[in-house]
């Protein structure tokens, strides 16, 4: 993210699993200043991302926060110079793309589901997902590659 990330733009950004921003990025939920609130899940996303108190600060005041504060609150994962932003995003995407596809998809499903579960249910759900992943060809390849001290070749099977 670079520049202004306000209202619907912030809601869209909040749908991203990993968020990095330039040092000049500004984040905000200014809808309250106009007489309404966001309608795309802003409160839920902010509360889960930055905690209820920080979410309340953003939602109740409508005041923006800079990249430094967004990083300290956990709204974004990294802050960097604008010149390296796209390169860094591609680096992260490349790392994720090298992982076992089924495991990566399962990790995303697991993370999303964990938000709405009790701790005990989330642990059981994760164990169930782990069992599914262990049964894949990719998991067998991962174990072989580890044993043979080489990089795995995942096929999404």
Q: Which of 11, 83, 91, 148 is catalytic?
A: 11
70 and 123 belong to one structural domain: no
110 and 48 belong to one structural domain: no
Query: Per the domain annotation, does 155 fall within a domain?
Result: no
10 and 31 belong to one structural domain: yes
76 and 109 belong to one structural domain: no
Percent of the chain residues topping a pLDDT of 70:
100
39 and 85 belong to one structural domain: yes
Query: Per the domain annotation, does 152 fall within a domain?
Result: no
Percent of the chain residues topping a pLDDT of 90:
92
**pLDDT score recorded for residue 39:** 87
Query: Per the domain annotation, does 153 fall within a domain?
Result: no
8 and 73 belong to one structural domain: yes
22 and 79 belong to one structural domain: yes
pTM exceeding 0.75:
yes
> Does the annotation mark 11 as catalytic?
yes
Task: Report the domain count for the chain.
Answer: 2
Cα–Cα distances (Å) from 128 to 59, 63, 143, 151, in that order, read 37, 43, 19, 26
What CA–CA distance (Å, rounded) separates 5 from 28? 7
Strands lying side by side in the sheet with 26-28: 4-6, 26-28, 65-66
**pLDDT score recorded for residue 47:** 92
Average pLDDT along the chain: 94
Q: Which of 31, 78, 120, 148 is catalytic?
A: 31
CATH number of the domain where residue 123 is located: 1.10.12
Q: Among the three residues 43, 63, 89, which one is the final residue of a domain in this structure?
A: 89
Across the chain, which has 157 residues, the per-10-residue mean pLDDT values are 95 94 96 91 92 96 97 96 94 95 94 89 93 94 96 93
CATH number of the domain where residue 28 is located: 3.90.226.10
79 and 129 belong to one structural domain: no
The residue segments making up the domain with residue 120 are 98-147
């Amino acid at each position: 993210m670079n520049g202004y990330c306000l209202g619907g733009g912030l809601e869209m950004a909040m749908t991203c699993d990993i968020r990095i921003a330039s040092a000049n990025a500004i984040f905000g939920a200014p809808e309250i200043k106009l007489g309404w609130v966001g309608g795309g899940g802003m409160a839920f996303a902010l509360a889960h991302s930055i905690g209820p108190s920080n979410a309340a600060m953003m939602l109740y005041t409508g005041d923006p926060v800079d990249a430094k504060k967004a990083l300290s609150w956990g709204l974004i994962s990294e802050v960097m110079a604008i010149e390296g932003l796209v390169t860094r995003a591609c680096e992260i995407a490349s790392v994720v793309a090298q992982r076992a596809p089924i495991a990566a998809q399962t990790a995303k499903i697991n993370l999303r589901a964990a938000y709405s579960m009790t701790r005990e249910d989330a642990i059981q759900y994760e164990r169930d997902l782990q069992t599914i992943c262990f049964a894949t060809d990719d998991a067998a390849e991962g174990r072989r590659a580890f044993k043979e001290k080489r990089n795995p070749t995942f096929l999404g099977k």
